[in-house]
Amino acid sequence: MRIATFNINNINRRLPSLLAWLEREQPDVACLQETKTADEGFPLAAIEAAGYGAVFRGQRTWNGVAILARGAEPLVTRRALPGDPEDAQPRYLEAAVAGLLVACVYLPNGNPQPGPKFAYKLRWFERLNAHAAELIDAAVPAVLAGDFNVVPTDFDIYPSKSWAKDALLQPEPRAAFRRLLAQGWTDAVRTLHPGQPMYSFWDYKRNRWARDAGLRIDALLLSPSLAPRLAAAGVHRWVRAEPEASDHAPVWAELR
């Protein structure tokens, strides 16, 4: 089984790229972030024609998450991250797919920091960690898949000081990510590629894609029962080189 996560950065604008990726790579499960469309604008017909069932939660212009399953219909278990009933931003979606619990995660960016957006990011991260701990305690075979909007270490970013004040590199979200992993989650790509940066995001500005000036902010985290099944993992960099590409590339993991 191949599971992937892809910040699509506007699903309707990138639909040809998405469909080309689905056809070429055929992930069994694909989690999408930043769909940037209200639910009525989600291109369900095109995705179903490509052979995928889909569940989704979005809003116009910003955010939005979706879970796609090849030849199957994901069964929604949660449409929001618990812990704050007033939080209306569509950043979390959870579904049962092929015997797994798959969580699609789009963590807040947090810029500018310090400020209310950064405070919201940290609160959201703590809510995610609390829910993730419950999944660990329940021994659920689960995957946390998504854009975590944190550069875990300096090894996960190209040599640069230009991001030093960015919310993605601050000590607090880095510490929150470490606490998440310490619960028992396995970072699939980093585990199998400990000596390579494995970037998943290249900003559109300053020719960063051509210079391979990337960041690793997208990840697939496996619960303890799934970690022994990890067979392969990587980044589909070719997608970032396509015309009208998202600024992210899909991250994938294969389970035995």
pTM of the predicted protein model: 0.98
Strands 29-33 and 2-7: parallel
Residue 171's DSSP bridge partners are none
Residue with tokens 């989600």: 42
Q: Which of 28, 106, 156, 187 is catalytic?
A: 106
Report d(CA 56, CA 67) in Å as an integer: 6
- Are the C-beta atoms of 124 and 112 separated by less than 8 Å? no
Question: For 182-237, how does the pLDDT look when each residue is reduced to its tens digit (9 = 90+)?
Answer: 999 999 999 999 999 999 999 999 999 999 999 999 999 999 999 999 999 999 99
Measured from the Cβ of residue 58, the count of other Cβ atoms closer than 10 Å reads: 23
The vertex-109 CA angle with 107 and 112, nearest 5°, equals 150
Q: What is the DSSP string of 90-159?
A: --EEEEEETTEEEEEEE-----SSSSHHHHHHHHHHHHHHHHHHHHHHTT--EEEEEE-----SGGGB-S
Known catalytic residue: 154? no
Beta pairing class for 142-147 and 230-235 = unpaired
- Domain extent at residue 132: 2-255
Burial (CB count within 10 angstroms: exposed 0-12, middle 13-18, buried 19+), residue 81: buried
Catalytic one of 28, 52, 147, 218 = 147
Looking at the 3D structure of the chain, how many domains does it have? 1
Nearest CA among 207, 205, 214, 206 for reference residue 237 = 214
pLDDT tens, N- to C-terminus, the chain (256 residues): 999 999 999 999 999 999 999 999 999 999 999 999 999 999 999 999 999 999 999 999 999 999 999 999 999 999 999 999 999 999 999 999 999 999 999 999 999 999 999 999 999 999 999 999 999 999 999 999 999 999 999 999 999 999 999 999 999 999 999 999 999 999 999 999 999 999 999 999 999 999 999 999 999 999 999 999 999 999 999 999 999 999 999 999 999 9
Which residues, including other chains, have CB under 8 Å from residue 76's CB and lie 6 or more apart? 55, 93, 94, 95
Q: Is 158 a catalytic residue?
A: no
**Residue found under tokens 């796609």:** 68
Whichever domain contains 123, its CATH number is 3.60.10.10
